Chains A and B, each alone.
Chain A
């Protein structure tokens, strides 16, 4: 069938489209960078070591999106202006699944912010990620606690510095409600259980919890277990657990699960406004804490980043609508265990400009530049507390910089993805849904090869 009755007419149409095309190409092709700072000016002095890559582009891939991504881009604006390096950041909600696809497919980004040391390890073992340069290593060693550097070191090779961090050992509560009812912030586990009983007796479900998170459903429960594990066992046992030196169904892990279960699987304690224990499985972690603002529950264990989840107009402050206290230790004499997470800047290319960006991201300049923009925490010890406005972020930075706190990285992120992002998550969902501790742990253990 002839689509165009007259071929010549068709030719004319195609020609016109082609012309229009090339015209628009000229129109948009020249993007100008108007606000370039003078590379020799005083404000560019800190960036002198990174100069000499004018006109180069570095691509970054991460799971950071929307407003946080904009803030991130803002944090390296000055760096871009002073060095002439263009940093292209792309955030994706499917980061964890897409990064391996891109790397295997030969389309790796220059840099990636990887929140799972387990994933980083997988790239390292397949020689897909580049070792960090000597400058990056020196910068990271000067700015980050040795604990943190361990997570991005595989078989003695250092692959990149941490960037943002979060502290997970927090319990959110309403200072207003606590004051009205005369409750006090607990400082030990036993106090916390006593407080929960008091609240339950007053007719309010003390705890709110939710572990639904789309494809990642189950992770908030793994955080619970890890936090309890750090409190019932020594950090050494925790390390053995995350590296599979002890089996996943070790009695000590079962003990942690059962202890967490005294809260999570206790119908008297959960789940404020959402229903029974099993409603935890279908409540999204974002919504889970919100009933605190309505007085339907009093406590919600969730990380520092939960500060962004409160409904608009909620004041986060020590005397405000909501605030968080440190998830108490069982025996405070044994120190202050802290569970946390964060992302690591790994490089898939070793071009000099990529290394320059990688080094800069480990520096105190960048950490402070990002901290000033707000809602951000880092373990970088160059972060000036004066630059951290949000009270929870301030508390987090204090905890991270506190020498007495024993920091441990999120265990599920350290484990191989098949366990840490697979059977552990699924196992927790099953456990909340009524599965018994022993068979759930056995199932996870059998998947770890």
Chain B
């Protein structure tokens, strides 16, 4: 009798597991099951709407740099299309939204909530060409260091996996901001990491900080409220709501997560060289947000060129390789659900 109950229980467990494996594999090849259709609809809806979205331009002023850095980032749809290679049909926008969609997502990186793969990473070495960036007292130029570190980072990431890694510039070239945007767009970037070096005049400090592209401004928030309260048909307002939430969530959770893992890793690396390095943490920074970026995008100030000792260290290959390795670890940590990998801890 008891044996029979136990056997039945095991059978049920197995059935659930078989179903789970089946669905997992279907998801992997981009097909959906009836039960999962509600999940599918979302990225598709996002895709349709984002298709019309214009180029996002984010202007960033770093608080303590010598000159303001203008920095754009592209709003691509890559993250979403990647998840729906074979989305079957247009979304039934008039159907009510399933609240479960967002239930579990709060504590989970969005890329995992929707199984978004990371296929393309864009590394953006800051400045270049006519724009030298900051120049240290010893004459080291920010544009050269950023490019060197970016190349090292690319080499490291290339050796790792199937991810496609591109640089926005692979030479000492003046690359207009619009072009950097275009590169990210053409490559369907899933992650965008910009490498810069800090410069704090008149202060002999060394610091590390990482910026991410900012939150909705008040204007955007009120726009969102307006949309939600609009008298349009339920389908359209829901669609917009989904997009708003997606974008908000991506901005609020993904970019800071990426920034946090990169900041932690770069700082850990820097502490080995300079125990006195200051942790300025991750920041939103005072951006003027014209439109939001939906791929995780960060700007890492990986070192401080105004500090003479740090400048001397930056002249060594070892230190630059160390920074590249730290950036790599930060990115991999982010991809691995924020868990620090063991060899990185050492």
A binds B: no
Which positions in B face A, CB cutoff 8 Å? none
